[in-house]
Every structure is written in C-alpha cells, then in structure tokens.
Structure 1
C-alpha cells in the first residue's frame, strides 16, 4: 500500500481525485474478494501449480505490453537497479508465488472461509512485522487489538486441534512480501513484471513437462477453459493497477478500511454460495478478529485525525 497518498486536490476538469481513487480501490477489493475466487473456482479441473504457471506467463505478457511502451526498457532496468536488488526480487518472487499457489489451491479445495480468515489476520501480521523490523510501536489500543486477534486464532486452533495453516500461510507470505517491498521501495508495476519474469523459466519448464506427459490442460478442455487460463493475467494485473490508483489518491486510513471488503467477500462466497461450514468455533474466531480490526481501525483513524489537527495548528502558529 502507498504510505504517503498524494493530496486529494481537485483536478482541472472539476473532478475530485478522491472520487476516482475510491472507485478504483473499491473495484480492486471487490475483484479480490468476489470475482477472483469465483474465477479460479471455474478452473477447478486445472491444478493450482499449472494455473500459477499460466498466471505468470499471461501476467508478464500483459504488464510487459503496458510497461515497455510507457516506461521503456531503460526505465524497467533502472527499476531493477542492481544485482543485490535483483536478489530482493528473488525473495519477493518466492513469497508471492507461494501466496498465489496456496490461495488458488485453497479456493479449489473448498477453503474460502479459511482464506478469508488469512486476509483478516493479515493487517495484524503487518503490525507485528512493523514492530519487529521497522521499529514501529504499538499504542495501547493496537496492543489490545493484537491480543484479541491472537486469542481468536488460538481458539480456532484449540477447537480444530490443528493449526489453520492455510490462513496463517496466506497472512504470513503476503505480510512478509509487503514488508520486503516496503523496505526496498519497489515500484509496484515494475516489481510485478520482474517477479513474474523471474518465474517464467520454471513456469515454462513445468508446462512443457505437463505437455510431454499428456496431462496439461491448455488446449484440451475447449475454448472456454483456454480463455479462462489466458484471463489469469488480467485477473492478476487489473486489480493491482486499480489498487495503485486508489492508494495514490486516498488517505491511508480509508484504504485500511476498504481492505476488509476482500476477505468479507470471500467469507460470504464460501458460506452462502459454496456451502462451506461456518461453525460456532469459526464465529468465535472471526468475532475476535472483527473486534480486533474495529479497535485497530478506530485507533488508526483517531491517530490520523489527531496528526492532521496538530499539523494545522502548527501551520497556524507559523503564520
């Protein structure tokens, strides 16, 4: 997410950038929460790793067609920077590749409720990672929120008798991915292009292996399946671009609230559409997470408003 959204000043044509930003961010989270799970459900006859391999190839094609004319090869190369920075990209590539594979497998395996739990947990993971690696401090309210969320996850573990590994894996891989990208100040689109480009060789090798063994799915199940496979590129890139448009025009607190649309959509789809179980244990765990997120979001909003008020007061004193 963008840490310093651009000021929402009216444009010359009279439109407020915040309106465009809100619409773009809302669309991104709706795609991630409602469209993407349904989309990947339609590819249930294709293995998760094969879907990720195609997702990599078609995302490279789509993002490359956008970036090469707009940024130029020299701009993309500058975005990579150095061999050390390429090593950082290798780390983010492994993280996002793992995240994609786990998510797609979980959707196909009927675990949307657990994926939603993972993305509800993710903001709390971000807080803990910020404390551990960015020297960020928790307020008392944020500390309470983290403890309540941890209690919710622990209650689910105790009721299941096992760790909800899908939820925790999704939360941890995406949380660490965001942390590394933040520390390295990676351009979102160039980062996506480089990360998927690094995955191209193993993706092609895997698809060729599937084809050689006669178990590949592209060109086998008809035009409809082939079209869905090709569309994995747009389904990956479009919400990311929309999110960047929104993040550049909205307050961070607004983005923070909107991000819960994604896991809420996944939860509703899992329970109401696909008939996944939502037990009393889920209710306790999700209830704790929702309370924790409400406390954390309220604290973030309060802190943001207090900082703005202090900045206005300082400006008045300076005058």
Structure 2
C-alpha cells in the first residue's frame, strides 16, 4: 500500500505538471515558437547531462551510442519527439490550446490503432466502438467546421508513433533514453535556431528577465515530470497509469476554455463529446480487462510502454 500511495503521488504529480504546460508556454508566447522548442531541447540536454553525471550513468549512454540498432531507434524516436514538442508549443503559443487537448484525448485511440497496424493486435468490441465513435466525431467536426484539426492529429500521430518505436527498445531507463534523444535532437535545434535567426532574428531573450528565465527553465520542467512518471510506472499497475494520463488533456481543456476563453463552435463541441464518449468505452474496456486478470500480482509489472514527455 505504501508503494501504491507513493506511486499515485508521483503519477498525479507528473500528469499535473504536464497539464500546466499550456499555461507555461502561454507565458512565453511573445517568443517565436520555433525558437522556444530549440532552446527547450538544448536546456533539456543540460539538465539530463547533470542528472546522468550525478547518478553516474554515462556508461549507459555510451552503451546505447555503441549499439547501432538501439541508437537508430532512439534517433527515430528523437525526431518524432521533436516534432511532437514543436506541434504542441506552436499550438499553445498560437492560441490553439483546446486543439492540443483534443490531440492528447485521442492519443490513446491512436495507440490502439497503431497496435493493430504494427503489432497485429486484435481489438475488443468496446475498443472498436471507441475508435469508430471518435473517428466519426473528429471527421464530422472537421467537415462541419471547415478545417481539419491538424494540431490535434499531429500530436496524436507523432506521440503514437513515438510509442511504437519505444516498444522496440528494451532495457533502457527513461533518463538515459531522454539524454540520448536530446543528444540527437540538439543538432536539429541548432539548425532551426540558425534558420530562425536568418529569417526573423532570435528574440527569446529580448523580452526581459522573466521571459528569459522561463525559457531557460523549460528543460528542467521537461525533466521533472519525466522522473516522477518513471517512479509512478515502477510502483503502479498499468491500468492506474492509463487512468491518470487523462489528467493532462482535462487540465488543458479547462485552461483553454475557461481561462483563455477560446471559442468552441458546435462542430468542435461535437468532436470533443464524441471523443469523450469513446474514452468512456475505452475506460470500460480497461476495467473489464483488469477484472479478468488471473493473477493480481501481475498488475505491478514495470511499465514498458511509451513515456509521455510533453
């Protein structure tokens, strides 16, 4: 029970912190979103390097770099992660917080679909119902509203594929994995900084000390919930993690709708409601599977799925 309580505390803390990211990036909305992500990647690598040094894990980093297959998978996952971060920050800074929330609401459904596509998994009836309802809702919303929710779909696809890649990676802890991913991502970020500098000029540090501090601390805010999540995943059943993951988009929706006052036309409401109904079916399926589990002791297996880093 002590382990479960500690795991719940860590998990809730991680997902609550991820849920505050729309507020955080709204505070630095004066900066170019393409510049912000580059600095986020660079500062995240600095934080990871400090953690790896303190915990003496550099031998693990070297082992990954010397394993071509593992390093190749991390290189691919880093590109997907970078794209996910860029889409999220771009969505928040340009005032599309609700669409980013929709993306993370539908992410579990994309994860299920990718399981069918890449792992030949079979869907239960409740899962099929969930996928069909969500798909119909998003399609109706796009047709009625006149615009495809590219930000939401982009977030769901990139993070879903990120999970697919990570399922191929074994025996690598979260901090080591994130360090390798940011090592690969930093050159991309530097190239992006050069492009932004030549086109629009760098401005992230030209808006006063507060904005500068927030930009520099973005790497730390990326690492903290990741560490908390790792502890939660080690202590909690996968079903608990599945329920907790909905905290982040719920907070994003509350922030976008009630705090930022973003408009939500009827067509978009229909899309959200359809996705929420689909998630109810998905949660029901999770509960049924949990009750059918033959051995309660197996519920506390370590988490091997994708790590949500946004």
Separation in 1, partners of 2:191, 2:240: 42
Q: CA deviation at 1:38?
A: 0.7
Residue equivalent to 1:74: 59
Q: CA deviation at 1:305?
A: 1.9
Contact 1:79-1:187 at 8 Å conserved across structures? no
Separation in 2, partners of 1:292, 1:118: 14
Structure-2 change in CA distance of 1:218 and 1:167 (3 Å): closer
Deviations 1:222-255 (A, max 9, x none): 2111101111101111111111111111111111
Give the alignment's Cα RMSD to 1 decimal.
Answer: 2.0
Indicate the SS of the match to 1:85: helix
Deviations 1:187-237 (A, max 9, x none): 322111111111222323444565678821244222111101111101111
What TM-score, normalized to structure 2?
0.90
Q: Which moved more, 1:216-225 or 1:159-168?
A: 216-225
Identify the match of residue 268 of structure 2 among 278, 282, 286.
282
Deviations 1:240-285 (A, max 9, x none): 1111111111111111111111111111111100110122222221
Indicate the SS of the match to 1:231: helix
Deviations 1:148-195 (A, max 9, x none): 111111111121223111110000000000110112234322111111
Identify the match of residue 277 of structure 2 among 291, 294, 317.
291
Separation in 2, partners of 1:154, 1:258: 27
Identify the match of residue 271 of structure 1 among 236, 254, 257.
257
What TM-score, normalized to structure 1?
0.87
Matched ranges for 1:17-28 at <5 A:
17-28=3-14
| Structure with bigger gyration radius | 1
Residue equivalent to 2:217: 231
Indicate the SS of the match to 1:53: helix
Contact 1:253-1:297 at 8 Å conserved across structures? no
Q: Are 1:53 and 2:38 counterparts?
A: yes
Q: How many residues align?
A: 297
Matched ranges for 1:246-265 at <5 A:
246-265=232-251
Residue equivalent to 1:142: 127
